[in-house]
Structure 1
């Protein structure tokens, strides 16, 4: 029987980003979607990033006419929340900062433009690029939420790399690159992300001086097993569950895995970008001032509204929800 030559990374890329892939068109996120994100949980996620951006301006790292760029913005809620809080905290910056979204899909660009038009009218000019290679700037702050878990990956098991036959997984391919990565990160089985190196290099080439911050779930060291899973209507389905019906889930549900942040760190180091820190999301948000923002809210709204927003914000920092499992990783390039 002839083997098919589809690698798992090609299969996953088609699942998520093919012409009719899961992310090719707008999907609801949150209660009505397949999963929650920090952005769908509370506006204070974007608000805390806005506070951090202002601190970068005050520090002199980010110029007042620098670029604020979100990568993989989906509907555009995150960047819009950032802008809304900048307006509240330092409105004059909206006249000088440039706002950019990197979005490969035309349909999502249209959704984002419409949302920004509805939210801000002509006050904010939003610029789109399909990739970081198209962006050329001198000074920027890059932000992304749950991007590294959305890179396609290869699957590795006891020295062999997976291929896909139909929707069945066979471990019988010799792939030296995957094997070397598995050895480097001490994995006898699991996911090896594909594309981190190119992504880091594209960012390095896009801007002379920048800070990049991203939030995702995973750990610095690689997991010793498979974490690949599918999200459907807030149900988590392990990819290797014996009852899984992959052909029915294909392109209709999200597929993801835990990030090995050491791999991300190494990719950025190879691109000449300095690793700053990795923190639990709850620690990062508290350090950047989310509690100060909540205190400001308490002083300016009635108790009921404050309590509603407080409960939403707590979900960002509670260890048993998003606070501990999600991590913030931060990098800087200085010329």
Structure 2
């Protein structure tokens, strides 16, 4: 079995890691920006309002999260929209792209508990199902969850009958990508192009924003790794038992944003920004939101939220490691 198929089943198979509800944060295998602070979603909400005020997005746009899992990010965005511009809650549409019915139900339950019947949550199994004239797409840590091929000196990997990684397969497509990004080893993501194509064809005018860890230049080595209980295991670690980790842990790799950029630009989209999470959140106004909070809560609550935001923007924590990339069409 090619490694890309193996990884896809590992994450998205019937018993895959993302096929069921997984805790994120202290009780899970890893932290995300969403599990760190509600002000991550709040800052995106502030940006959406600005894009509406500028006239790029219409007040009846679809606000859609891709790969929502729990749905916490979209819920945080809605909460801040209600605080900052309550009228938009009435006019905007809200949706989630989620392939698993069990997670769709979890998300519906969470939104009903959080908003009652005020929010009518739309669900899509795939981006290609969406039809809207204006939309804002948001995704957090999605590109690192695309299946990838593993390349080493001109050969790609497969999983043999003993569950071992063997480099002995040929792929002209993977080699073409490898030459383009000057790689002789590492991960080559599969599916960026079809994902960008589906988005471009589904909505005539939209903005897509995504946060992930990686660089604009491709790495020259392997970054693929497994997360379990906040511990990191390189995929080629001799102590890692692939058969034991399969489907029970998160498997991920650093994103090559040059590949993301090329995939979306090939569909006619325009990259309007690429920045560290630190720069992106500050430019979108996270500090302004903290200033508003400070005027309306106790010092103790403000300090608590400030410490959470520091994790998002401190260079040595999430601030520099994570990047934001943003595209527009129309």
- Pairing 1:233–2:233 present: no
Matched residue, 2:192: 196
User: Which residue, 312, 316, 320 being the options, matches 1:316?
Assistant: 312
Shift of 1:251: 0.3
Shift of 1:246: 1.0
Structure 2: tracts of 5 or more residues without a match: none
- Pairing 1:288–2:284 present: yes
2:128 and 2:328 map into 1 onto residues whose CA distance is 18
Matched residue, 1:213: 209
- Pairing 1:266–2:265 present: no
SS class of match (2:307): helix
SS class of match (2:207): strand
Matched residue, 1:19: 14
1:174 and 1:75 map into 2 onto residues whose CA distance is 38
Matched residue, 2:168: 172
Shift of 1:75: 0.5
2:14 and 2:159 map into 1 onto residues whose CA distance is 19
- Pairing 1:128–2:123 present: yes
1:277 and 1:226 map into 2 onto residues whose CA distance is 27
User: Which residue, 22, 43, 47 being the options, matches 2:38?
Assistant: 43
1:124 and 1:303 map into 2 onto residues whose CA distance is 32
Q: Structure 1 stretches (4+) deviating beyond 4 angstroms?
A: none
In the superposition, the TM-score normalised over structure 2's length comes to 0.99
1:138 and 1:190 map into 2 onto residues whose CA distance is 39
Q: Aligned-pair RMSD on alpha carbons?
A: 0.5
Shift of 1:167: 2.0
In the superposition, the TM-score normalised over structure 1's length comes to 0.98
Shift of 1:304: 0.3
Alignment length, in residue pairs?
329
SS class of match (1:133): helix
Matched residue, 1:74: 69
1:205 and 1:167 map into 2 onto residues whose CA distance is 39
Matched residue, 1:186: 182
User: Which residue, 84, 91, 103 being the options, matches 1:108?
Assistant: 103
Structure 1: tracts of 5 or more residues without a match: 1-5
